[in-house]
Structure 1
Amino acid sequence: MERAKTILPILFSFFVVSFVDLVGTGVDELKQSANTPDYLLQLIPFVAFIWFFLISVPAGIWQARYGKKKVLNMAILVTAFGLFVPVLGNSLPVILGSFALLGIGNTIMQVAANPLLMSVVPAERASGYLSLSQFIKSVGSMIGPYVAAVVGPFVASAIGFDGAGSWRFGLYLFGIVALLAWLWLRMTPIEEQKKEDSQVTFTSCLALLGNRYIALMVLGIFAIVGVDVAINSNIGTFLQLKIGVDGETAKYGKTVYFFAKMIGTLLGGILLMRGEPKTFLKYSALFAMVVVMVLTFADNSIVAWLLVGLISLGVANIFPLIYSITVGHYPQRSDEISGLMMMAISGGAVFPLVVRLAMGIHLNGGLWIIFGLLAFVLFLTRVKPS
C-alpha cells in the first residue's frame, strides 16, 4: 500500500506527459480556421519536440543535482503555464508559443519521470511499469482530440464564448489537470538515492555516446518517436489523399491510432511483468513493419482505419522497451542515459516534416520512410551491450 502511494502520483504525471500529443490537434484545428500552408503547420510539432534535442541532457544534469521529483514537479508547472497561453488568441504564433512551452515541460518531465518511476518499482518489473506508464500516456493522447474538438467547444458555448478557436478551452481543462498533478506529486514523500560516488556532467552524458550499444539505442528512440509523431501529425492528411476520407472524419485518424496504442500499452504492461523485453521488442517491430507495408496497398477506408490501429499496436511498447532494456544494462548511469534518450525524442521534430515532404513526392513515400525506421529498430534486437 505504501509503495502504491508513491507510484501512483508518478504514474499520473505520465497523463500530463500526453498533453504534448495535442500537436496533431493543433495542426488540424489551425488548418480549419486559418489559411496556413501544411508545411508551416508542421512547425507546431517542430517547436514542441525540438526541445528534446536542446535541453534533455541539461535536464538530466539538473535531476542528478536537485532530485528527480523536484525537477519533475517544476516541469509539470511549465506545462500547465503553456496550456493557458492560448488565452492570447488562436493565431499560429500564439499556438507555436503554447506548444513550445509544452515541449519544454514535456522534455523535462520525461527525463525525470522515467528514471524516477524505475527507482521506486522492482527492477524485474521495470519494463512492465514503463509500459503501464505509456498506457496512461496513451489514455491522455486518445482523449485529447475529443476534448479539444468536442468538450472544448461545449465549455466555450456554456460560458457564452462565440469567437474563433473554441478548441482552446480543451487546453485550459488540461491545464487544470496539470495543476492537480503538480499538487499531488508535491504532497507525496519520495525518497531518492543520492549518488555520492559520481557527478553527472554534460561531458559525462555525451561520453556515453562512445559506447556503441548506448549510441545505437539512443538512435532507436530517435527513430521510434519519429514514427509515432509522424503518424500522429500526418495520418489525417494521408487518409484524405489516399482513401478520400473527408477532412472532418480524417481528423479522428489519430484517435484510432491512440486508442489502439492505449490497448497495446495496457497489454504490454501486463505481459512484460513476466515476459522477456528483448523478444517482445523484436516481434513488435516486425509486426509493425508488415502492417505498414500492407497499408501502402490499401484503397478502402475501413481497411485503412484497421491498419492504422494495427500499426499503433505494433509500435505501442517500443519506446519503453528500448529505454528499460538500456537502463537495465547500465543502471548506475540512469541519469545520463535518460538525458540522452530524451534528447533523441527530437526525432518527433524531424520526421513529421520529412514524412510530409515524402508524401508530396509519392503518396506512399511517408510510409516507406516509416518502414525504414522500423527496420532499424528491428536491427537493434541483434545488438549486444559492450
Structure 2
Amino acid sequence: MRTLPIYLVFLVMGFGDLIGPLVSLVKENLQITQFEASFIAFAGFIMFGLLSIPVGVLQANLGKKPVAFGGLILVLAGVTTPLMGLTSYSGYLTAVLLLGAGVTVLQVAGGPLLQEASPAGKFAQNVTFGQFVKGIGTLSAPLIPILAYRYFDNRWQLVFPIFGAGTLVAMLALFFHSSKGETKNAATVAACVALLAHRRVALLVLAIFLYVGAEICISSMLPTILEKIYGFRLADFGMAGTGLFFLSLMTGRFAGTLVLNRIRPAAFLLVCCALALAGLVLLATATGYFGFAAAMLIGFGFANIFPLVYAIGMDAFPTRANELSGLMISAIAGGAILPPVMGYISERGSIVLALVVPAACIVYITLLALNERRHHAA
C-alpha cells in the first residue's frame, strides 16, 4: 500500500499529543504549580511557531521525504531523553522541546505528502483519515499512563520506550517509501509569510491557531477540571476522562472520513463547532458522570476541525502547498499561547470561568465556517 508509510508518519504525529497529558502527570510527579506545568505545553508548542515556516521553505527546496525523515529523528530523540535519566523539570522541558520540534516537521511534511498521493477531490477525506490514524497515537498518550497506574506500579514513563519503538517502525517504512517525482522550487521565508496578505489565508491560519490552543487547553486541564468541579481524583478517574476525550477525537475522525462522502467540508465544519460548543457548555454546568459525557462530546466536536480547516486551505492554494503547510502548521503555536492564559484565569478566577478561553476559540471557527459556506455558494 503506497500510502502506508505516510499514515505511519501521521501515527507518530499523534505521539506529540503526549504533551497535553504530560502537563498533569509531571505536575503531580514533581509537585509544581499549574502555571509552571503549563510551560510544559508551551515548550512543545512554541516549536510550531518557531520552526514551521522555515521547515516549509526547506521542504520546498529539498523535498518532502527527507524533511519528514528528519522529523522522525527528532521525535525519537525526544521520547528517548527521559530514558537517559533526565526526569527533572528541565529534563522534561528538553524532551518536550525535541518532541515538539519533531512533530512540527512531521506536520509540515505529512499533509503535502498525502496530498501528492491523493486522487483529485479526495484530499479532505484522506487527511481526515490521516488524522484518525494520528488519533491512535494520540489515544495511546493517556491510555498507557492509565494502564501504568493500575498494572505497573504507576510507572507512566513506560510511554517513552513504546513511542520510541513506534517511531523506529515509521522510520524504516519511510526509508523504503518511493514517492513520485515532485517539483522543487526556490521558496523563501518572505514569500511564505507574504501569503498572509491574502485575507482567506489569514483567516484560516488564525483558525488553526485558535483551534489547537482550545484543544490543548482541554487536554491539558481536563484532569484538573474533573477533579476540581466533579471530584474525580487524578489517580482514579482523571486520566480516564482525558482518555475518553482522545477516544472521541479518534472515532470522530474515522466517522468524518465517511461523512465527507456526503457533505462539503465547510458544512461539516459547522456541525463540528456546534458539537464542541455544546460539550463545553455541558462541561461547565453538569454534575457527576456527565463530566465524562461532556469530555466525549467535546472530543467528537473537536475531532475534524483541524483537518477540515487545513484541507480547505490546501485545496484553495494547491500550487503553494509546501509554504502554506508550513504557515498553517506554524499556527499550532496556539497550543503554547492559550493554555497559560487558561491556567492564569483558573488560578485568579475559577476553572469554570477559564472555559471561556476554548469556547471563544470555537465561536470564531464557527464564524469562519459560515464565511466558507458563503464563499463556496458564491
TM-score, normalising length: structure 1: 0.92
Residue 339 of structure 1 deviates from its aligned partner by 0.7
| CA deviation vs aligned residue, 1:132-175 (integer Å, no higher than 9, x gap) | 111111111112222244359967x8xxxxxxx83223201211
5 Å matches for 1:279-290? 279-290=267-278
The secondary structure found in structure 2 opposite 1:243 is coil
| Matching residue of 1:161 | none
Q: Distance in 2 between matches of 1:49 and 1:113?
A: 17
Structure 1 residue 20 displacement after superposition: 1.2
Q: Report if the CA contact (8 A) 1:82-1:101 is conserved.
A: yes
- Mapped partners of 2:302, 2:198: distance in 1: 26
Distance 1:207 1:180 in 2: 38
Structure 2: how far apart are the matches of 1:263 and 1:323? 19
1:25 maps to what in 2? 21
Q: How does 1:297-336 map to 2 (within 5 A)?
A: 297-300=285-288, 302-336=289-323
Distance 1:153 1:100 in 2: 29
SS of residue paired to 1:122: coil
Amino acid at match of 1:171: F
Read off the aligned partner of 1:106 and give its amino acid letter: V
Separation in structure 1 between the aligned mates of residue 114 and residue 307 of structure 2, nearest angstrom: 12
Q: Percent identity?
A: 31
Q: Is the 8 A contact 1:67 1:192 kept in 2?
A: no
- Spell out the pairing of 1:176-325 with structure 2 (5 A cutoff): 176-195=165-184, 199-248=186-235, 249-300=237-288, 302-325=289-312
2:117 corresponds to 1:120: yes
1:321 aligned partner, one-letter code: L
1:162 corresponds to which residue? none
Q: Report Cα offsets for 1:245-265 as digits up to 9, x if no partner.
A: 112111222101000111100
Aligned CA-pair RMSD: 1.8
Distance 1:293 1:123, change over 3 A: same
Q: Which residue of 1 aligns with 2:4?
A: 8
Q: 1:375 aligns with which of 351, 358, 363?
A: 363
Give how far 1:355 is off: 1.4
Of the three residues 138, 143, 146, the one matched with 1:146 is 143
Q: Give the Å deviation of 1:199.
A: 2.8
Q: 1:281 to 1:73 in 2, by over 3 A?
A: same
Among 325, 337, 356, the alignment partner of 1:350 is 337
- Distance in 1 between the 2:209 and 2:156 partners? 30
Q: Which residue of 1 aligns with 2:54?
A: 58
Q: How does 1:31-46 map to 2 (within 5 A)?
A: 31-46=27-42
Q: Distance in 2 between matches of 1:371 and 1:25?
A: 20
User: For residues 58 and 382 of structure 1, what CA distance do their matches in structure 2 show?
Assistant: 32
- Contact 1:20 1:102 survives alignment (8 Å): yes
C-alpha distance in structure 2 between counterparts of 1:265 and 1:375, whole Å:
21
Q: Residues 181 and 135 (structure 1 numbering): CA distance in 2 closer, same or farther, change over 3 Å?
A: same
Q: Unmatched 5+ residue regions in structure 1?
A: 158-164
After superposition, the C-alpha distances for 1:353-378 in whole angstroms (9 at most, x for unaligned) are 11122222123122112111101001
Structure 1 CA distance for aligned equivalents of residues 265 and 124 of structure 2: 7
Amino acid in structure 2 at the alignment position of 1:237: T
- Corresponding residue to 1:167 among 156, 162, 178: 156
Q: Hey, what's the Cα distance between the residues in 1 that align with 2:294 and 2:173?
A: 39
Distance 2:149 2:162 in 1: 8
Q: Deviations over 1:207-231 (max 9, x none)?
A: 0000011001000000111111111
Distance 1:244 1:126 in 2: 43
Q: Secondary structure at the match of 1:296?
A: helix
Tell me if structure 2 keeps the 8 A contact 1:153–1:166: no
**Whole-angstrom distance in 1 between the partners of 2:103 and 2:24:** 21
Distance apart, 1:32 and its partner CA: 2.6
The answer to whether the 8 A contact 1:148-1:171 is kept is: no
Letter in 2 for 1:284: C
> Hey, what does 2:90 align to over in structure 1?
93
Report deviation, 1:294.
2.8
Contact 2:40/2:93, CA 8 A, preserved across alignment: yes
Secondary structure of the structure 2 residue equivalent to 1:89: coil
1:69-126 Cα shifts (integer Å, max 9, x gaps): 1100110011011111002232111111001000000001000001110111113111
Aligned residue for 2:133? 136
Residues 264-273 or 286-295, more deviating: 286-295
Letter in 2 for 1:305: F
**Bigger shift: 359-368 or 100-109?**
359-368
Q: Displacement, 1:13?
A: 0.9
Q: In 2, distance between residues paired with 1:101 and 1:118?
A: 26
Over residues 234-277 of structure 1, what are the superposed CA-to-partner deviations in whole Å (9 max), with x where a residue is unaligned? 00001111111112111222101000111100000122144311
Deviations 1:315-339 (A, max 9, x none): 1001010011111111111111101
**CA deviation after TM superposition for structure 1 residue 7, in Å:** 0.6
Query: C-alpha distance in 1, partners of 2:150/2:291?
Result: 29
